Each structure stands twice: as structure tokens, then as C-alpha cells.
Structure 1
């Protein structure tokens, strides 16, 4: 069994697991500090990892006010090289001028049907925003239109480990 310190881990320097998501990462922020993708960092990527993938969802979203929860996708990111150890604040939808190691990264379409990060919109009750990072034994070939569904189907049988971070909004 792996030591606690060796566990594949996903964190944010801007909030701890279970904390409230800072406003600048939501649709409720203001000006330039609105709808930024949050900074994320990961540690202890498993041996054999060929790529990483990220799916961010509001797991408490509902299609109807009193209906069952239907997760709402905020961000899909595929083909993160294992050499990359973080996505900086505001990474989504920006020119990837952070260095050549970021070039293979492919952002997908969220449930608003737009590319990249779209932060949560204020709700009448708290919702959990769950960030799931997958360590994969292969690079994913997803074509031009990456979606959560395509990604989750493609990674089936390729997941070496999964790390999770949750914030409340």
C-alpha cells in the first residue's frame, strides 16, 4: 500500500478540498477577475502515465428544480503530458505561451457547448464542483471535438489512477 505522501493528489493553491470556490473562478466575478480557470497542481503521478485528463463537473446540478442530480460539465482537458505538473490560473482559452510542454493539451467542450472553462453560475443552494484528474497509460486520440462523453469512453481501461478535488459554490 502506498504511503499517504505518495498518493496521486490534485490540489489548488487557491482553495482547499471542501472550501468555497473563490468568486473569480465563477461567472459571478467581476471584470478581468471573472470566469478564470482555477490554478491546479498535481503530485505523485503514477509510473507508466502517458497523459493526464481532467473533467470538472457540478455534481449537484439538476435539469429541473426538484429533479435528480444531472452533473453539469464545466471543463474538459485531455492529453496533458505527464511532465506538466500544473495548470496556472487563467490557463483556459489562452494562448499556450507557457512553453512547448503545454502544446499537446487539448481543451474540450463543456455543457454550455463552448470550448474551455466556464465557471459556475450562482444557485439558490450550495453545489459541489468536483475536479477529477485521471492518470492514463496512453495518449487519447479524440478528434477535433472533445467532449466529456468522448473522453470518458476513450479512457475506459486506460486509467492508472484518479485524483479528486472538490469545492463548494
Structure 2
């Protein structure tokens, strides 16, 4: 993961390119989750009802049709990773759905998962790693 994606830095959603979406897709969804959190499943970003012709998503390009849900910390929007220690793997999951989801903005991950169940036609994953900040040994001098 780029350092700028971290909430300790710019907290900026990294650019994501979307290609080869199947023809029968009615909407796309994206989930960013921490695979190594000691807390279990930790969602850092959740968005659904993206048009199937969406080719790029980043900090400046999120289609207006997209609906953004709650992260694991109760906030709506993107919350960049902040591994507390060591290195964590963060997975972006792109879901190609056969329908738009009837969910209001601010829905929880549990509500999203229930609404998407049975509608996933295809899925793609992109995983990156980010490590906890290490103390600068010269900072105390």
C-alpha cells in the first residue's frame, strides 16, 4: 500500500483501475479490509452501487451513484490503514453484482454483506501491505 493511503499520512484512497467487468453486471462494490487485525474483520472502506462502466476509483474519482458505508470504526468514508504494530495485509475486494443494492448510505458491513448475498457474479482481489511506523532513532537527539 502506498504510504499516502495511511491515515497517518494523507489518508488518501489509492488509485484503483477496474477492467474486464462481465457483461451481465448491474453494479460494482468495493471493500477494503485488514486481513491481519487482531480484532478480526476490520473494514476500512465500503462502497456499492458503482456503475458497471466504472474504470477508475481514487480520492478524486468516485462516481456519484456510489453509496458509501460505515467503516469498522463507525465513520462513513475511507479510513486509511494504520497498523498498530508489524505489517498488515490490506485487501481491496471488487464485487461484480447482478443488481443494485437497496441500502442507504451509511449502512454497516453486516447490512452490506446480507444485501450482496446471492448477487455476486464475479470477484477480484488486490492485496497490499503496510507496516507500522518505526520510531526514528535520530528523533530524540
Same fold (TM over 0.5): yes
2:55 maps to: 85
Q: How many matched pairs?
A: 130
Higher strand content, 1 or 2: 2
**Per the alignment, in what secondary structure is the counterpart of residue 115 of structure 2?**
helix
Aligned residues: CA RMSD: 1.4
C-alpha displacement of 1:22? 1.2
Deviations 1:60-79 (CA, angstroms, capped at 9, x unpaired):
0013xxxxxx0211000010
Structure 2 CA distance for aligned equivalents of residues 24 and 144 of structure 1: 26
| 1:73 alignment partner, one of 38, 43, 68 | 43
2:119 maps to: 158
**Unmatched tracts of structure 1, length 5 or more:** 1-20, 64-69, 92-97
Structure 1 CA distance for aligned equivalents of residues 105 and 57 of structure 2: 21
2:3 maps to: 23
| 1:114 alignment partner, one of 46, 55, 75 | 75
**Unmatched tracts of structure 2, length 5 or more:** 131-141
Preserved contact between residue 96 and residue 122 of structure 2 (Cα < 8 Å): yes
Runs of 4+ in 1 over 6 A off after TM superposition: none
Task: Give the TM-score, by structure 1 length.
Answer: 0.73
